[in-house]
Amino acid sequence: MNAVLDELKWRGLVYQTTDEQALAAHLDEGPITGYVGFDPSAPSIHFGNLVQLMVWRHLQRAGHKPLLLVGGATGLIGDPRMSSERNLNPRDVVEGWVERIRGQVSKFVDFAGPNGAEVVNNYDWTKDLSTLDFLRDVGKHFSVNRMLARDVVATRLDSGISYTEFSYILLQSLDYRELYRTKNCTLQTGASDQWGNISSGVELIRRSDGGKAHGLCTPLLTKADGTKFGKTESGTVWLDPQMTSPYAFHQFFLNAEDAKVIDYLKVFSERSHDEIDELERLTQAEPHKRAAQKALADDITDLVHSVAEREAAVAAAQALFGRGELSELPPQTLDAVMKEVGAVELPDAELPTVADALALSGVVASKSAARRAIAEGGAYLNNEKVTDPDQRLREEDLLAGRHALLRRGRKTVGAISRPIG
């Protein structure tokens, strides 16, 4: 078996291939070119997309060349979902998202050397393609019966699916054939829900060109109970720091389950087998230390954001519970911390008393409970113990001119924030 394919399998990055033995032999023959696609359906890719970029980091390190396709054409259509029809985004919006995602994906691969990566856009080869040529040259090779049998199409038949989304598979297959013809691309990777699109591209290349191409799908990441892994209570975990702050990003992975954290480490960290095996041993022997979770959160935050952003996220988490100085946190990190804590907006311009602030922030259930906490010596304002329940917050108590952190005991935290402007 091929070494890099073995590595991908050990890391849990291989769910299905068109022909594993043939793919291993093809990788052994010498450097190949392959691609993975990203449709601009939002201003940013999310961490699930990072799985594919990790696959290509391993493949590129083994000498193979990645093509990162940002779908300016397919992004105007949208891959059909199981639930309902997608809204068609305006062309200028999609064009803007293409450029943003082009910059994002470019961070994770190397553009230098003989196997340097390329970013391509399928709008370039579809914008001048006529309907007649598309139907004759691509559509002729597709059986409607097989297209109707696809899970997503079969699921949507009762509720309805547009011809636009029904035809998406033809566009993605065209992409593979175009890259096969112009870039000698012989491998496409994607998530397991892309299997139908990938295998159809392989089949189009065989039917129209008599060529041999390959496909590889990664498994869906799941939690210990089998449900999908990848969302916080507030939604998707984005790679754009304006959409998911580095602090929230780091916290998300820090909260990974013991039962699954090693699986996630294999996917998102580039630590060696021995290092991951040792983290697995520590997780089993001393789970309370959460060594694997810390390694996972640090590694993926370093990769997606930077070492400096990771260090700021760690410092913020420590400061939140009194083990660091809140006033030294950068304003953007402080804003992110307050958002994650669920800071309550101050209802008026006058600053409240400490007792009122504790109740308003949700740290305690009532003003009387706040007075009891203060009397017992367990109430804190910005990590400083408070003794007078009627002490009114001052302007200098507001961190970055807006926020105040309230805490009861060691672990119960909340915050209040003055509105911007």
Burial class for 382, CB neighbours closer than 10 Å (0-12, 13-18, 19+): buried
What is the rounded distance in angstroms from the CA atom of residue 169 to the CA atom of residue 221?
24
Q: Tokens at residue 43, please?
A: 């201003």
- DSSP single-letter state for residue 392: B
Backbone angles phi, psi at 414, to 5 degrees: -160, 180
Q: What angle do CA 311, 293, 284 make, to 5 degrees?
A: 145
Alpha-carbon separation of residue 159 from 82, 85, 155, 173, 187 (angstroms): 10, 9, 8, 26, 34
Residue given tokens 């911390």 in the structure block: 337
Residue 318 is labelled as binding a ligand: no
* Contact criterion met (CB below 8 Å) for 165 and 172: no
Residue 172 is labelled as binding a ligand: yes
Residue 231 is labelled as binding a ligand: yes
Q: How far is CA 170 from the centre of its chain?
A: 27
Alpha helices in 158-260 (DSSP H): 163-166, 168-183, 195-209, 246-254
Do the strands 33-38 and 231-232 form a parallel or antiparallel pair, or are they unpaired?
Answer: unpaired
If we measure between CA atoms, which residue out of 393, 386, 383 comes closest to residue 349? 393
Known binding-site residues for L-tyrosine equal 35, 168, 172
Known binding-site residues equal 35, 168, 172, 231
Known binding-site residues for ATP equal 231
